[in-house]
Amino acid sequence: MTVKKNPIVALEEHYWDPDLVALFPGREGKRASELERRMFDMGELRLREMDEAGIDIQVLSHGAPATQKLDAETSTRMAVQTNDRLAVFVAGKPDRFAALAALPTPDPKAAAVELERTVTKLGFKGAMIHGLTNGQFIDEPQYWPIFERAQALDVPIYLHPSFPHPAVIEAYYKTYAAEFSWLIGPALGFTVETATQCVRMIISGVFQKYPKLKVVVGHLGEGLPFLLWRMDHFLSRDDRPFREVFEENFYLTTSGNFSDIALNASIAALGVDRIMFSVDWPFATNKEGVDWMKATSLDAADKAKVLGNNAVSLLKL
């Protein structure tokens, strides 16, 4: 891939593979038809909306539901098939697209193998994991082979939200879910579930075992930059403080959170070099995201870092 100077790179941009999505006929939070049309589009519409907003490169990742809720054999088979198809698409326009792999986390050893295959054979830039794996958090020791391989390959793992555990939905959100359907998802449920995933990883010791592991979190950190002082105060381990892990092992994207307050808090927590632009297309519009970033108070050099140069560096575009 040849990348121009100061490109605009959108890092968390989604699509759906029809065969993988077909395995979830009753999937939660079914999207409206217009959103579905964009999720399945791998051609003219996607490129036109990128061009209209001035986005040079989309880093594509399969949207939820992905392979985290399948059985081990099915998830492995579908991850390989889905990644192969995505690789063919990216190869057709390598100047405009890059990819994050879908991983069969229900079989952690197979997931580590698939991560290596997609990076070394298909040129993928890392992987995305959607929420819990059949009800289990990713910090559990059986999943650590994935992190071991990611560190060895020097590629990031993107932790993306999915719907919370059914017991959490029942206890925390059911009362208001009918009236406020997005409460379970992007309004609160996604944030709580993904922030919990991150916190559990930090206190589990996985970053002590794999100190060079890189993790990307969207939506400007799922509230963690705001909570960092209290998290560090109460949750630091003797061998490595909570804040140190967050500052040295995590990267954040702007996906679907075009907030000056959240951006400033994220930069204060991690520094501008660890913040990367994302739209969360098609759940947000390309133009909305680009226009917001260009209007922020960041100087030109920092805007260039966030809009693309940080992603070029992390993903080796």
**At a CB cut-off of 8 Å and minimum separation 6, what does 61 contact?**
12, 13, 14, 15, 99, 100, 102, 128, 158, 160
SS3 215: strand
Please state, in angstroms and rounded to a whole number, the distance separating the CA atoms of residues 29 and 63.
13
Q: Is there a contact between 62 and 102 (Cβ–Cβ < 8 Å)?
A: yes
pLDDT at 3: 82
What is the average per-residue pLDDT within 166-195? Answer: 93
- On average, the pLDDT of the chain sits at 95
Residue-wise pLDDT tens digits, 78-126: 999 999 999 999 999 999 999 999 999 999 999 999 999 999 999 999 9
What is the average per-residue pLDDT within 279-307? Answer: 97
Provide the pairing of β-strand 97-99 with 57-62: parallel
pLDDT at 16: 95
pLDDT at 299: 97
Closest C-alpha among 119, 128, 83, 87 to residue 255:
128
In DSSP notation, 61-86 reads EEPSS-STTS-HHHHHHHHHHHHHHH
* Catalytic site includes residue 232: no
Please state, in angstroms and rounded to a whole number, the distance separating the CA atoms of residues 186 and 192.
10
Identify the band that residue 26 occupies on the pLDDT scale cut at 50, 70 and 90.
Answer: low
Identify the band that residue 33 occupies on the pLDDT scale cut at 50, 70 and 90.
Answer: confident
Helix axes 224-235, 260-270, angle to 10 degrees: 40
Please state, in angstroms and rounded to a whole number, the distance separating the CA atoms of residues 164 and 130.
11
pTM of the model: 0.95
Q: Which CATH number fits domain 9-315: 3.40.50.720, 2.60.40.10, 3.20.20.140, 3.40.50.11540?
A: 3.20.20.140
Residue with tokens 């793992």: 157
SS3 191: helix
**At a CB cut-off of 8 Å and minimum separation 6, what does 27 contact?**
21, 65
**At a CB cut-off of 8 Å and minimum separation 6, what does 92 contact?**
none
Joined together, the tokens standing for residue 181 give 């359907």
| Percent share of the chain, pLDDT over 90 | 91
Residue-wise pLDDT tens digits, 234-281: 999 888 999 999 999 999 999 999 999 999 999 999 999 999 999 999
Please state, in angstroms and rounded to a whole number, the distance separating the CA atoms of residues 263 and 269.
10
Q: Is there a contact between 63 and 39 (Cβ–Cβ < 8 Å)?
A: yes
Closest C-alpha among 70, 206, 200, 53 to residue 130:
70
Amino acid (1-letter code) at residue 77: R
Does residue 12 have a pLDDT over 60? Answer: yes
Domain boundaries of the chain, sorted by first residue: 9-315
pLDDT at 28: 47
Joined together, the tokens standing for residue 197 give 């995933």
Indicate which residue of 280, 291, 299, 302 is catalytic: 280
SS3 251: strand
